[in-house]
Chain A
């Protein structure tokens, strides 16, 4: 159920490489997806799969002397990757902004929280000192911090984790951005606070047409907030689906594994929690063929030799798995040739990787 409007953000063949002493690491390997106005897209995957790097690449926050970014990132039709740095800086915070994972470290310890929110307002909305301060207090009120006038004058160490995350959210929202990358906004918080923050984000989103890219490994958060989900594994997109379909009808063995690994409180206590065997591959030594095959329970011969193509089906779903390719051959067959058309342009070749 992709909305019918033009995408707000369109990532095409994004490839981010880090130059390290040990060699070149491909952290994001040719992914593409769209974000539509007003939607919440879940970006899911385990630690180190390239979720955060994707967001940082889009915002161009990675150190340019150590990274190369290829592909296109179109925001409202303009390619962010080819923009000059000054133009890009003006987009950050005003049109696209980011909520970081660690509320304990994402605030400057020596500036009051009010000053930190006001900073962005003075920069982008050109407000004077007093007006920016007033609006900062208003923002704190909006993120439901009690006695905002007092809190605005306090330093971050006087605030609890949940309150700091609210401040971080206020900072991200203060200039009404069209798109927010929320990088694990609840991971560092207590469960009860997590629920509050999610409710707050949902509440704030209702009042605006802001799109959120929710980066998380918490499928519970995704189920609650996102309308569409993109699943990443080892820097690649492995599955994309509307959230309900993903939970009911996951096609990629990795997604299935993730869903099975969610603990269920009613389950018998003696039964062992499902897990996906093995660990994420070392990005320096990627397995040949499908990057998931060493951990997959349904590995076939072809998986070890060739990377699976990204297959489109049901209009709005995509999956990169040889199993799906067989399963849905019939569907794709009815129209044109299988595979040939289902492979994203350029994807068929670029997915061949590993060293």
Chain B
């Protein structure tokens, strides 16, 4: 079946909206920069053990708070641990958090949004009032409250921030479904007796993927920022795990005398969030049906 699908005549190739989108994305310089940063970031996360030999959590009090040097490229923190190593290993943690958080958001937000938008009526009303309630809290505050309930640690950080993002996905997906639901092909699918489940996942979901992808990219940036915020406050990922936010938090005391301890993790957070946001904005510009440039 798949071989037959590939037998298309290239002369008749009309660019579909998605391939036009990718072409547009490639022309967007900011998005390209974001994409490159993101690749570097992922490379750091994957290659941390190769790029930094040694244990990023092992203290070496003899070398505490040393400034950047040939031995400690970005200097050391108050326990004499290499900041470079902690940033590299920290990128794994923050990437894990970003993926985990968006995963939680997608797993709960997308199906609920699909159901809410497709069925409408009372189901929709109840779901939407629930999301209204959740959206009434500022996102970070909600995550903070959830951590207070669930307790600290990597998993709870992911779950808390993830849950605080669920209503955003519900809203987004529901809004898109409301549009796609009215398309004639959805009605046509119903007219040939297609099951609701099948219509939702096969006909509607793929047609609302573009905004979900955009939100995923932007959401990852936000997730890293939220996690760093929780870490900074000491209620996120706990030491000695190298986490950017908690690195900033413990560096706070030495900010005046030894600024490098706080600066480098700060730059790492900044670049990671920036790369996701640039890419997300680029994706939005490329796939937003209203921007016909």
Contact = CB atoms under 8 A, between A and B. Distances in A.
B203 A171 contact: no
A184 to B, nearest CB: 12
A106 B5 contact: no
A175 B6 CA distance: 27
Contacts of B191: 59, 61, 92-93, 97-98, 100
A164 B190 CA distance: 18
A77 interface: no
B136 interface: no
A330 B17 CA distance: 67
Nearest to B6: A153
A168 B188 contact: yes
A110 B194 contact: no
B188 A106 contact: yes
Interface string B78-90: 0000000000000
A112 B9 CA distance: 14
A153 B5 contact: yes
Contacts of A119: 189, 192, 194, 198, 202
B4 A158 contact: no
Interface in A101-134: 102, 105-112, 114, 119-120, 123-124, 129-130, 133
Contacts of B192: 92-93, 97, 119-120, 123, 171-172, 175
A94 interface: yes
A285 to B, nearest CB: 27
Nearest to B121: A65
A149 B4 contact: yes
Nearest to A112: B5
Given A110-B207, A129-B1, A133-B1, A61 B6 contact: no
A157 B193 contact: no
B53 interface: no
B193 A108 contact: no
Interface stretch (B56-64, B179-187, B243-251): B179-187
A100 B193 contact: no
A1 B120 CA distance: 46
Size class of the B contact interface (CB-based, 8 Å)? 20 to 34
A100 B5 CA distance: 26
A63 interface: yes
Contact of B183 (A98, A105, A158): A105
Contacts of B189: 108, 119
Nearest to A152: B4
Contacts of A90: 193
Interface string A278-298: 000000000000000000000
A154 interface: yes
Interface string B1-26: 10011111100111011000000000
A203 interface: no
A102 B4 CA distance: 27
B173 to A, nearest CB: 16
Contacts of B184: 100, 102, 105-106
A107 to B, nearest CB: 6
Contacts of A93: 191-194
Given A110-B206, A157-B14, A124 B193 contact: yes
B116 to A, nearest CB: 14
Contacts of A111: 202-203
A215 B16 CA distance: 33
Nearest to B2: A153
Interface of A: 59, 61, 63, 65, 89-94, 97-98, 100, 102, 105-112, 114, 119-120, 123-124, 129-130, 133, 149-150, 152-155, 157-158, 168, 171-172, 175
Interface of B: 1, 4-9, 12-14, 16-17, 120-121, 183-185, 187-195, 198, 202-203, 206-207
10 contacts: A59-B191, A91-B193, A92-B192, A93-B192, A98-B188, A100-B184, A123-B193, A133-B1, A157-B16, A171-B188
- The 8 A-B residue pairs with the shortest CB-CB distance, nearest first, are A93-B192, A93-B193, A92-B193, A153-B5, A105-B184, A98-B191, A108-B185, A106-B184
